[in-house]
Amino acid sequence: MQHGLSRSERTALPSENELAAEFKVSRVTVRQALDELHRKGLIYREKGRGSYARSQQIGGVTGFGSFTTEVENAGSKPSSRIVDFVKVSSLPAGMTIHLLKMPPKNKSYHCLTRVRCVDSKPVAYEETYLDTETYAGLERADVENGSLYATMRRLWGYEPAWADAAIEPGVADEAIAKHLGINVGAPVVIAWRVTSSEQDEVLEYVKAIYRGDGFALTVRRHKIS
């Protein structure tokens, strides 16, 4: 209790044994929970000292996961407008260039084009490519209301778990400019993304174009190693 002040300033979490006693679980279980918080970058741990809270993370849209969920978590209101829903015979070239070593052959895709909005302001123009064989019977009605991920889950039992992505700069052409309400030639970020399930099934290919003025993609608490 000598340096009580400085110690109480630093100690943020009870010790593992204290937590185990409080919640009536074993120390191993407490450690599982604390390790998960550590992996998320929410706390840090020091051998011989204790566990401490880290400062707050930044918020915002990462471009991974459900657009709807991410925007809601950031405290804003998400919305989408379907621009087009057609069948195409191949993926855009940039997809294979950046993400695929072996582009799929003889496949066709549903191409769902949407404008994504945050608080009614358009921020992204998004083309989602869905394998017609995998998603046989997919109708426009299925994607018109609610999140695409919810539809994939409900009708086929697919759950997006992982994403690989490539990011490059670009400029808005006439169509993009019109949909996002920006000038032709304005700088944009293009994100190419492949989403797959926990079992390594490819669920979707996405080309997303984000406007640059007043909007940025965020990457939260990324572990360096």
221 makes contact with a second copy (CB under 8 A)? yes
State which of residues 50, 65, 92, 170 lies at the interface with DNA (CB under 7 A).
50
Closest CB 159 distance from a second copy, rounded Å: 9
Q: What residues between 14 and 33 interact with DNA by CB under 7 A?
A: 15-18, 24-29, 31-32
Closest CB 157 distance from a second copy, rounded Å: 14
36 φ/ψ angles, rounded to the nearest 5 degrees: -65, -40
Q: What residues between 107 and 166 interact with a second copy by CB under 8 A?
A: 160-166
Which of DNA, a second copy, none is residue 75 near (CB under 5 to 8 Å by kind)?
Answer: none
CA of residue 165 relative to chain centroid, distance = 10
State which of residues 48, 75, 157, 169 lies at the interface with DNA (CB under 7 A).
48
Helix axes 27-39, 16-23, angle to 10 degrees: 120
Locate 61 and state its tokens. 């849209």
104 makes contact with a second copy (CB under 8 A)? no
DSSP code, position 107: -
Closest CB 124 distance from a second copy, rounded Å: 12
14 makes contact with a second copy (CB under 8 A)? no
Rounded Cα distance between 148 and 68, Å, is: 10
Rounded Cα distance between 60 and 215, Å, is: 9
223 makes contact with DNA (CB under 7 A)? no
Question: Which residues have C-beta within 8 Å of that of residue 173, sequence separation ≥ 6?
Answer: 184
The stretch near a second copy (CB under 8 A) out of 1-9, 46-54, 78-86, 112-120 is: 46-54
Three-state secondary structure string covering 115-156: EEEECCEEEEEEEEEEECCCCCCCCHHHHHCCCHHHHHHHHH
Closest CB 131 distance from DNA, rounded Å: 23
The binding site for DNA (CB under 7 A) comprises 1-3, 6-7, 13, 15-18, 24-29, 31-32, 34-35, 45-51
